[in-house]
Structure 1
Amino acid sequence: MCSNYKPVTLSDRLLAHFGVVRPDGETPVETWPGYRAPFIVRPDAKEEADKEQGREAMVGQYGLLPHWSKDLMLGRKTYNCRSETAAEKPSFREAWRKRRWCIVPAEELYEPCWETGVAVRWAIRRIAGPMGVAGLWGMWIDPKTSERLPTFTMLTVNADDHPLYKRFHRPGEEKRMPVILHPEDFDAWLSCSLDQAPSFMRQFPAELLDAEPSPLPPRTTAARRLPRAKPKSRPPDLPGPEPDDLFS
């Protein structure tokens, strides 16, 4: 599961590697569930779900909110989606069945490594440039204010046998990894059919990735005295993900 990553936010990198113009809106240095970050869809996908070509960047909340969600809290549990059950689970099935495919541009993905007996945050990168992670997206309408909010999630696959990703997460837990797309597959993913979508749900080659320890900086004394502040590189004090059947 990937609850923390560094988004691609520089205009030149979004244009050079993803062919999109940087969308308006501030984004954090690192993204956690509930934070806002760029993601990429087909042009005019908001109105025309069958448009086949091109890309457009949007800013939305990390954590998919289905139309029936009453508030933002659900997004703290829906930032990752198991690709094997995406078409069935209540939180994701509408986005999957309506082909709301997206790409999440990431400079680094962060995962906990327990090889020393304690969790150490590691950064995973694509050697040849930023990563494009396959995801799902939706447009949530706040029932209280009628405000429209784009939201998104990363799709994941099993990684028990992956040479790199099998090193992460607690011993005994299933190993999962985000679906990292090859750049030449970006357009094919955004325009694929329901029958074609499962063919993209595969592990990314370990030899094309690099990883190293990247611990979070320690909290400062001032930050500990002000727990309600919104730091740029550390998540809010949120409950951890729950492996509930509704969200798995």
Structure 2
Amino acid sequence: MCGRFAIHSPASLLVDRFSATVHGDAPAPRYNAAPMQTLPVIRFNPEAKERRLSPLRWGLVPVWSKDPTGAAKMINARAEGVAERPAFRSAFKKRRCLVPFDAYYEWRKLDGAKIPHAIATDSNGPDAFAGLWEGWKDPATDEWLHTFTIITTEANDATRDIHDRMPVILPPDRWSAWLGEEEASPDELRAMLVSYPGEHMRVWQVSKDVGSVRNDRPDLINAAESGQAINPA
């Protein structure tokens, strides 16, 4: 699964990297982004023919939901079956998005303890998770809630010892098709939902302070003093 990540790149860098315009509030840096928080997401607007960087809440609320209480269980969507599962199939067809990130966190179980690690690619970043988004209208207030989920797949060789799942990381040459800017068949879209090459990833141990969502500061992304890098750049 993917339940915590960092997206601290400034809005100006996100705009340049993803060729997007900012809609809504400019994103603040997050060093410990967590479910149910509002975070930056890239979507394509077909009418304006532009990519937009917008704030959406993490935890998908399907359009047919009676209420948003199940969002915390919808932070991830497994690549296996995402095109068919009722909660995700409509978004998979029509509402795909990119979720910018600089690194993500995962915990390795070792001798009864959980050791947090940061994981990133060896690109100049920021990078993008494959995501889906939805709009849900509150029947009581008529207000819209826009939410997203991150798609996960099997872990690669660099991360498998930490966790058996990892988020789908899309390289830039797949962004246009995933966003719907160009034609892509369901089979072509599903073929994108694979693990990122392990030889192009970096993994390092970080402070246990990342375990609390109350902590959100720059040093969380730093290597722990006692930590040992795995596959360092």
**If the TM-score is normalised by the length of the shorter chain, which range does it land in?**
0.7 to 0.9
> Is the contact made by 2:9 and 2:126 (CA closer than 8 Å) also made in structure 1?
no
Match of 2:116 among 113, 121, 128: 121
Match of 2:170 among 181, 191, 211: 181
Question: What runs of 5+ residues in structure 2 fail to find an aligned partner?
Answer: 218-233
Q: How far off is 1:4 after superposition?
A: 0.7
Q: How far off is 1:115 after superposition?
A: 3.6
Distance 1:54 1:21, change over 3 A: closer
Q: How far off is 1:31 after superposition?
A: 1.7
Identity over aligned residues, as a percent? 33
Q: Say whether residues 1:100 and 2:92 are aligned partners.
A: no
> Is the contact made by 1:28 and 1:233 (CA closer than 8 Å) also made in structure 2?
no
Q: How far off is 1:88 after superposition?
A: 2.3
Instruction: Determine helix, strand or coil for the equivalent of 1:17.
Output: helix
Q: Name the amino acid aligned to 1:205.
A: P
Q: How far off is 1:188 after superposition?
A: 2.2
Query: Where do 1:1-12 residues align within 5 Å?
Result: 1-8=1-8, 10-12=10-12
Q: How far apart are the structure 1 equivalents of 2:37 and 2:45?
A: 23
Q: How far off is 1:186 after superposition?
A: 1.1
For 2:154, the equivalent position in structure 1 comes to 158
For 2:135, the equivalent position in structure 1 comes to 139
> Is the contact made by 2:60 and 2:133 (CA closer than 8 Å) also made in structure 1?
yes
TM-score of the superposition, structure 2-length normalised?
0.81
For 1:233, the equivalent position in structure 2 comes to 216
Cα deviation digits, residues 117-161 of structure 1 (max 9, x gap):
4111111112212221111111111222111121111111122xx
Distance 1:22 1:213, change over 3 A: farther
Q: How far apart are the structure 1 equivalents of 2:22 and 2:80?
A: 32
Q: How far off is 1:18 after superposition?
A: 1.4
Which aligned segments of 4 or more residues in structure 1 are displaced greater than 6 angstroms?
Answer: none
For 1:33, the equivalent position in structure 2 comes to 35
Aligned residues: 211
Match of 2:200 among 205, 208, 227: 208
> Is the contact made by 1:101 and 1:137 (CA closer than 8 Å) also made in structure 2?
yes
> Is the contact made by 1:37 and 1:62 (CA closer than 8 Å) also made in structure 2?
yes
Query: Where do 1:218-229 residues align within 5 Å?
Result: none
Instruction: Determine helix, strand or coil for the equivalent of 1:146.
Output: coil
Match of 1:168 among 162, 165, 168: 162
Distance 1:104 1:182, change over 3 A: same
Q: Name the amino acid aligned to 2:207.
A: P
Instruction: Determine helix, strand or coil for the equivalent of 2:135.
Output: strand
Structure with the higher strand share, 1 or 2: 2
Match of 1:64 among 57, 60, 83: 60
Cα deviation digits, residues 173-230 of structure 1 (max 9, x gap):
xx111110112221122123323211111110112111111234289xxx9xxxxxx8
Q: How far apart are the structure 2 equivalents of 1:17 and 1:213?
A: 27
Question: What runs of 5+ residues in structure 1 fail to find an aligned partner?
Answer: 170-174, 224-229, 235-248
Distance 1:87 1:184, change over 3 A: closer
Q: Say whether residues 1:199 and 2:191 are aligned partners.
A: yes
Instruction: Determine helix, strand or coil for the equivalent of 1:102.
Output: strand
